[in-house]
A and B are shown apart, each in its own frame.
Chain A
Amino acid sequence: MKRYLYYPGCSLRGTGKAYEESLLAVFKALDVELEELEDWNCCGATAYMAIDEMNAFALAGRNLALAEKKKLDLLAPCSACYLVLNKAQRYIKEYPKVAKLLDHGFKAAGLTYTGTTKVRHPLDILINDIGLDEIKARVKRPLAGLKVAPYYGCQIVRPYATFDLTYYPVSMDKLLRAVGAEIVDYPLKTRCCGGSQKGTLPEVGLSLIHILLKEAGRRGAQVVSTICPLCQFNLDAFQDEAGKKYGEVSRPVVYFTQLLGLAFGFSAKELGLERNIVSAKRVLVKFEPVAA
C-alpha cells in the first residue's frame, strides 16, 4: 500500500472542503493511505509571501522539517500550498543565506531540516505513482459523453514545472480521459482566475472569470474541472455576478477529484458535490449511483 503525508492547508478545511472530501475518497478507493502531517501550520502563501518572503519560508520550512522526520512524500493538494512549499524547498537548497537563517529558526523550535522532503501534487501521484491503468481498473461508471474543460490555474506549473508542461499541462486531461470523460480543447487552461483581484479590483477579477467561463462554454464544455481551491471558489462563487455584468455564463465548476470519485462510484454527497454554489446536478446526475 502506498503511503503519503497529507498536508491539507487552510483551504481544504474551509472553502475547499469538497476538495478534501473527494480527494480522500478517491485515494481510499485506490488503496492509498494518507497520514495527516501532525501539527502542521500555514503554508506561508498569500500575505506572508507578498510582504516578507523569509516569513513565508519559515512557515513553509517548518512544515517541511516536520515532514522530513516521517520520511514520506508530502502531498499538498492546494496549488498555493504546493507552490510555496516547493519554492521554500528550492530557496533553502539554492540560497545558503536562506538556509542559514532558517536553521536558526529550526533550532529554536527543536527541529532540523536537511532538505530531503519531496512535495507532491495529487496529479503527480495519480499519474506517476499509481498510473492510468490502475485508475482505469477502478472505474465503475465511466463518465462517457461528459465534456470537460480542464482548468489548471497558474501555480502548479509556474515557475516550477516538476511533473507537467509549463505551457500546456496535460496530466488532468489524461486522468479524466482515463475515466471516460471527453476533454475539450481549452487553451486557457493555465490562465489567471483572478486570484484575489475580486476583492481588490473587482472589475479585473470579474472579467477574467467571465472569459474563462465563456470560452469553456464556447468550446462545448458542460463542466469546468479545477485543481485549486481558489480557482474553484472564484469561478463558482462569482459567476452569477460576472454573468450579470458581461453576459450569461452559467456552468458548474468542480474539482477533478469529484469527477474521478463519480467514476469510481461514490455518491454526490460523499464527494461534497452538494457544496458547490452552481449546482452540477443537472449535468452529473446520470453518473451518480442509485441510492442503495
Chain B
Amino acid sequence: MDARNGDLRIGVYVCHCGTNIAATVDVKAVAEYAAALPGVVVSREYKYMCSDPGQELIRQDIVELKLNRIVVASCSPLLHEETFRGAVAKGGLNPFCFQMVNIREHDSWVHQDRQRATEKAIALVRAAIRRVALHKPLEKKRVPIHPDVLIVGGGIAGIHAALTLANAGKHVYLVEREPTIGGNMAKFDKTFPTLDCAACILTPKMTAVKKHPNITLWTLSEVTEVQGYVGNFEIAVTRKPRYINEDLCVGCLECIEACVYKQAKVPDEFNLGLGKRRPIYISFPQAVPQIPVIDPETCIDFKTGRCKKTCIEACGDRHAVDLKQQPKQETIKVGAIILATGYQTFDARKVPDYGYGVYPNVYTAPEVERLINASGPTGGEVILRDGRKPQSIGIIHCVGSRDENTNKWCSRVCCMYSLKLAHLLKERTGAEVYNFYIDMRAAGKAYEEFYHKLLEEGVHMIRGRVAEVTDWAVTPEEEGKLVMRAEDTLISFVRRVPVDMVVLSVGLVPHEDAKDVRRLFNISCSSEGWFLERHPKLAPVNTFTDGIFIAGACQAPKDIPDAVGQAGSAAAEAMVLIDTGYVEMEPNTAYILEEECSGCKTCIPLCPYSAITFLADKKIAHINEVLCKGCGTCVAACPSGSIKQNLFEDEEIFEEIRGVLANA
C-alpha cells in the first residue's frame, strides 16, 4: 500500500439496485469480503445507493468515521459517477477520492451463475479498493463557453430548434445542404391526423428563420471540419456556389423565365423526378431563401461556355447572376451543436417483389405526396405514369420496416401516413383503396380516431403482408392491372387484388452518409445507423459527446410532433449549457515530471491535439493542459515513464490489474 496513505480509511458501499444486482450477485458476501481488506473501515450494502438515503449514508460515514476514500459498487459510472462524486463532496472529501465499480451492466445483468457473478464482483471491488488508495485530490477546471450554437439540418426539427434558441437571444448558425430549408416536411401535402396542409404550417416558420436577426442561414452548405470540445467548437463550413449572389438577388425569379431552355427538361429533385425543371430553378414556390439556383451539371453555359446568358440579361443591373461563383469556406466558433439531419426513405427497389422501378404504376409514398400536392408536377391531379387515372389503388404498409430481410424496426409514421394517403387518394380520385397492413399502429393523440374515420369512409383494410405485385393475370378482370397477392390473415385466405396503382409505404432509414456525419462530429450510431442518444429514456437528445445534441429523425423514426418536441428539448439543453457560462472539464489531463523527461520527443507526434511541445531551452517536453483531452496515449508511450495522467496514473492501473487477479 502506498506510503502516502498511511492512515487510509476506506468506505465501501455495495448496492442491491433493488433486485437488479442482488438477484445475481450475493451483495452481502461482497460487502463482507470487502470489510476484511486492508484499509477498509466500513463496508455496507444498501438497497439503492443512488437514492437520497444512500448518498446520505456516504456523507454521514465520511463525517463520523473520518473516511478518506470511497468505493461504490453499483451501476455504470456513466450513469452515476457524478451522483456519487457529489455525495463524496458533500461529506467534505475531494470528489476524486472515489472509485466506482460497475457490477450491474458488467456483471449482474450479463451473467446468470450467481457464484461466478459474485466472484467477479468481489474481484472488481478488490481492484477498486486497491486503486482508490492511490487516488489524490483533484480539481475540475472551468472553461468558458462560446454562446453561439450550430444547427445542422434545416428540416422541421432544425428550424424549430433554431427559432427557439434565436427567440431566447442566442445566435444560431443554421446549415442546410439543399438549396432550401424545409426538409421532408416541405414535400408533404397534408399532415396526419388533422389534415392541415404541410406548407401552410411550415412556411411561416421557414420565413421566420430567414428574417430572424439571430439566425445566420447557410443553404447549399455542409460542415466539413469539427475541432474543439464542448463550449469551444471550431467549425469549418463549405458553402457551395449557388451562382446567384444572395445579397443582390431580390427573388423576382425573372431569370428562370428567361432561361434559354423554354421547356423544363431536367428531372426535378424536389418532385422526386416526377416533374421537370430548368437548369436555373427554385425548388418550390415557397422555398427559403427565395433565390434561384443554377445547376452546373445541366446549364448550357457550364457545359459548353456558349450560352446567350439570357438569365444575366434578365437580371439587368442587379447583377445577381454570377456564373463564376466559387465554393466558400467559413470558420465559426460555437459552444454547442444540434444535429437535426433527418432521415431518408427506404429504397423500394430492395424489395423486388413489389416491382418498384419495373412497373411504372408502382409509386413510393413520398412520390404520391408530390403527386397529390397542388403545387406538385400534376397540379394535384392523380395521373399515373401511363397517363391513366386510377380506379383502384393498393397501399402496402411496412415496406422496408418490420422485415427480417431489410430493416427490423417499425418506422412509426407509415401506418398514419398510409391512412392519410388513403383518405386523400380516395377524396381526389374516388378510387377503391385497399390498405394492406401487418398491425395498425395508431398510437398518438387523435390517431386511433383518424383510423376509425377512415374505416367509416369505406377504405378497405386487409390485414396481411403483400407477397408480391405482378403484372400477370389469372382471370380476365386482372388483365392489364397490377395484381397484389396477400394472405388476408383475418379470414385465412389468399387474395389476389387487381389494382391500377400501387403505393409503397416506405420506411424511414438513416441517411446514406449518416456514418460520415457521425464520424465528423465524433458521436456514436446505433447498429442500425441512427445517431445514438446518451440514454434512451433520460437523456434522449444528448450524445456521449458533451455539447452535441440530436433532434428529429436522425435519432430514430418519428413524426412531426415528436420531432418538434425533441427539437425544443435539444434547444433547451443547449441553452442550459450556454447560460451556465462555463463547463467543467474532467481532470484527466496528462502532465510531465520535468526532472525525469529526457527530451526524446517520442510523445510529440503522438498527440492528435498538438498539446505537447518541445521546450528548446530546457530540452524537455511540455503539455498544454488546456489542449490536452486526456486520452493517455502519450503516457503509455513515454519510455522513461515521465508522463503521468491524472485519474489514470500508471500505479493506479497497476493496482487495479493486481486487484482483479489477486486470489482471495
Contact = CB atoms under 8 A, between A and B. Distances in A.
B474 A187 contact: no
B474 A215 contact: no
B474 A207 contact: yes
Contact of B472 (A168, A207, A211): A211
B406 to A, nearest CB: 11
A188 interface: yes
A167 B353 contact: yes
B472 A185 contact: no
Interface string A49-90: 000000000000000000000000000000000000000000
B405 to A, nearest CB: 8
A167 B472 contact: no
A215 B355 CA distance: 16
Interface in B85-120: none
Contacts of B351: 167
Interface string A195-236: 000000000000100010011001000000000000000000
B157 to A, nearest CB: 35
B358 interface: yes
Interface string B348-370: 00011101001000000000000
Chain A interface extent, by class: 10 to 19
Nearest to B472: A215
Nearest to B474: A211
Nearest to A188: B472
Interface in B447-476: 468, 470-472, 474
Contact of A185 (B353, B358, B468, B474): B358
The 10 closest A-B pairs by CB, nearest first: A215-B472, A168-B352, A167-B352, A187-B470, A167-B353, A211-B474, A211-B472, A188-B472, A185-B358, A207-B474
17 contacts: A167-B351, A167-B353, A168-B352, A185-B358, A187-B355, A187-B358, A187-B468, A187-B470, A187-B471, A188-B470, A188-B472, A207-B474, A211-B472, A211-B474, A214-B472, A215-B472, A218-B472
A188 B474 CA distance: 13
**Max count, chain B CB within 10 A of own CB: residue among A167, A187, A214:** A187
B103 to A, nearest CB: 35
**Max count, chain A CB within 10 A of own CB: residue among B352, B358, B472, B474:** B472
Interface of B: 351-353, 355, 358, 468, 470-472, 474
Contacts of B474: 207, 211
Contacts of B468: 187
Nearest to A207: B474
Contacts of A168: 352
Nearest to B355: A187
Nearest to A212: B472
B478 to A, nearest CB: 11
A207 B472 CA distance: 13
A188 B353 CA distance: 10
A209 to B, nearest CB: 13
Contacts of A211: 472, 474
A276 B244 CA distance: 70
Nearest to B469: A187
Contacts of A187: 355, 358, 468, 470-472
A121 to B, nearest CB: 21
Contacts of A188: 470, 472
A244 B471 CA distance: 23
Nearest to A186: B472
Interface in A168-188: 168, 185, 187-188
Contacts of A185: 358
A218 B479 CA distance: 12
B467 to A, nearest CB: 11
Nearest to A166: B405
Nearest to A167: B352
A187 B351 CA distance: 13
B283 to A, nearest CB: 35
A214 B471 CA distance: 12
Given A187-B470, A215-B472, 8 more contacts: A168-B352, A187-B355, A187-B358, A187-B468, A187-B472, A188-B472, A207-B474, A214-B472
A44 B129 CA distance: 65
B496 to A, nearest CB: 12
A211 B474 CA distance: 7
A129 B352 CA distance: 27
A168 B357 CA distance: 14
A90 to B, nearest CB: 18
Contacts of A214: 472
B368 to A, nearest CB: 23
Nearest to A210: B474
Nearest to B350: A167
A207 B468 CA distance: 19
Interface string A19-31: 0000000000000
Contacts of B470: 187-188
Nearest to B471: A187
Contacts of A207: 474
A117 to B, nearest CB: 29
Contacts of B471: 187
A185 B355 CA distance: 12
Nearest to A165: B352
A77 B332 CA distance: 66
Nearest to B470: A187
B471 to A, nearest CB: 8
A218 B468 CA distance: 19
A139 B526 CA distance: 50
B360 to A, nearest CB: 13
Nearest to A218: B472
A187 B358 CA distance: 10
Nearest to A246: B474
A215 B483 CA distance: 14
A211 B472 CA distance: 8
Interface in A238-274: none
A168 B358 CA distance: 13
Contacts of A167: 351-353
A167 B356 CA distance: 14
B549 to A, nearest CB: 40
A269 B404 CA distance: 48
B602 to A, nearest CB: 50
A168 B472 CA distance: 17
A211 B353 CA distance: 18
A243 to B, nearest CB: 16
B184 to A, nearest CB: 28
A168 B353 CA distance: 8
A167 B351 CA distance: 8
Interface string A140-177: 00000000000000000000000000011000000000
A214 B474 CA distance: 10
A70 B642 CA distance: 64
Contacts of B358: 185, 187
A207 B474 CA distance: 9
A218 B353 CA distance: 19
B484 to A, nearest CB: 14
A263 B471 CA distance: 32
Contacts of B355: 187
